[in-house]
Amino acid sequence: MAKKVLSMEEKNERRFMVLTPVISVLLALIVGAIIIGCLGKNPLVGYSAMLEGSLGSMAKISKTLERACPLVFTGLCAVFAYKCGVFNLGGEGQFIMGGCATAAVILGLGVDGPGALALGLLAGIVAGAIWGLLPGIMKIARGLNEMITTIMLNYVAMYFMEYIFKNAYSDQGLPKTIAIPQSARLPQVLGTHVGVIIAIAFGIFIWYVIFRTSFGFKIRAVGMNPIASRVNGFPVKRLVLLAFIISGAIAGLGGAIELLGKTPFRLADGFGSGFGFDGVAIALIAQLNPIGAIVVALLFGVLSTGGTMMQSVIGVPTAIVDIIRGLIIIFAVAGMASVRLPKIKAFLATWGARTNKAEANA
């Protein structure tokens, strides 16, 4: 296949698609360091503790990977929906419902073995898809803003999970479910569960679907311009609904994998909490690129597991990690918007032309 010739502008845009998130991460880390410094602690010691705590040994790396695994799914969930112009903020609810359905099927039917594992994963996907379908129907039939409905459904899912772990399948009245039987858990590979590999493979698969298939093209077209898509004869409503369903299913699968793969293999308070918004952040930082989402999810995993170590070494609350995350997304959003501003665009174009000429001369 002949290499596609990119215009100067496209080349510039691509460069900024990669550059902006990287610069945002660096800036956020610098601001984070300033905050740590203002508290009278040494940021360099803190950051090295963070790296040590997240990537210092095989066990720590696998812990980081396990932490990043659900974020890959909620991130992909957000990416897929936004590619179709749907702002799904319900990743958390869909993730939780996936976990609930998996628990209900395995614990309710009392099954175990690989069959139960497959059944559990399927139940998670279906439940997530249904939880994604609901706001989709509401958007298409009644024109409701999906941002509000998905958030409301997050809370409904959260309380439903409370019912599952407190009433339905409670472990001797304690606020947690009975653990998933050993034989129905995801197998371990290289010190981590196989879900991590599924997540990465799945991310590449989603990238392929979005950027290399005609279905993905239609999804993107609807996201960019629904009216033009309708003029072209694309079934816009069906595609939007499908985007909701698929995005929900991805999050639901994530919930099932989290339950079946990660200790303690049970539902309890806090399961999936915050993963939905983290997914949104990941999608936005990754510029809606599924492969990028995997990378950003891994970064978030490093921040989370390393944050605990940083707290114990220099005594800065782990919430600093949340601030750094928030800063990354703000810088990324502001950065992407500012390179599109007419004035800055013109400036960058002349600057880009100069560097390109310099490259050609060299």
Partner 1 sequence: MDFMATLPTILKAMTMGAVPLLLTSLGELFSERAGLVNIGLEGIMAIGAFVGFAVGKFTGNLWLGLLVGMAAGVLINMLYAFCTVTLCADQVVTGMAINIFAPAIALFGYNLFVGSNSVNATGSQMASIAIPGLSSIPFVGNAFFDQTLLAYLAFVLVPLVSYFFKHFRAGLSFRSVGENPHAAETLGIDVVRIKYVACIVCGALAAAGGAFLTLCYTPIYIDGIVMGRGFIALATVIFGRWSAVGILGASLLFGFFDGLNVALQAQFQAAPVMFFKMIPYVFTIIALVFFGSRHTGPKANGQPYYREER
Site residues (CB under 8 A) for partner 1? 39, 87, 89, 138, 142-145, 147-149, 151-156, 159-160, 162-163, 166-167, 277-278, 280-281, 284, 317-320, 322-323, 325-327, 329-330, 333-334, 336-338, 340-342
Q: How far is the CB of 216 from partner 1 (least distance, A)?
A: 22
Q: How far is the CB of 65 from partner 1 (least distance, A)?
A: 23
Please identify, using beta-carbon distances, which residue of 160 and 234 lies nearer to partner 1: 160
d(CA 323, CA 331): 12
Taking each continuous run of H as one helix and of E as one strand, the counts in the chain are 14, 4
Please identify, using beta-carbon distances, which residue of 255 and 307 lies nearer to partner 1: 307
Helix (H, G, I), strand (E, B) or coil at 275: helix
Strand ranges for the chain from DSSP E: 170-171, 174-177, 188-189, 192-193
Q: How far is the CB of 87 from partner 1 (least distance, A)?
A: 6
Helix (H) or strand (E) holding 70: helix 58-83
d(CA 216, CA 213): 5
State the CB neighbour count (10 A cutoff) for residue 38.
9
Q: How far is the CB of 238 from partner 1 (least distance, A)?
A: 20
* Burial of 152 from C-beta contacts in 10 A (0-12 / 13-18 / 19+): middle
Please identify, using beta-carbon distances, which residue of 111 and 336 lies nearer to partner 1: 336
Please identify, using beta-carbon distances, which residue of 61 and 79 lies nearer to partner 1: 79
Please identify, using beta-carbon distances, which residue of 145 and 355 lies nearer to partner 1: 145
Q: How far is the CB of 151 from partner 1 (least distance, A)?
A: 4
Q: How far is the CB of 148 from partner 1 (least distance, A)?
A: 5
Residue 309 exposure: Cα atoms within 13 Å on the Cβ side = 21
Evaluate the omega torsion of the peptide bond into residue 70 and state whether it is cis, within 30 degrees of 0.
Answer: no
Please identify, using beta-carbon distances, which residue of 295 and 324 lies nearer to partner 1: 324
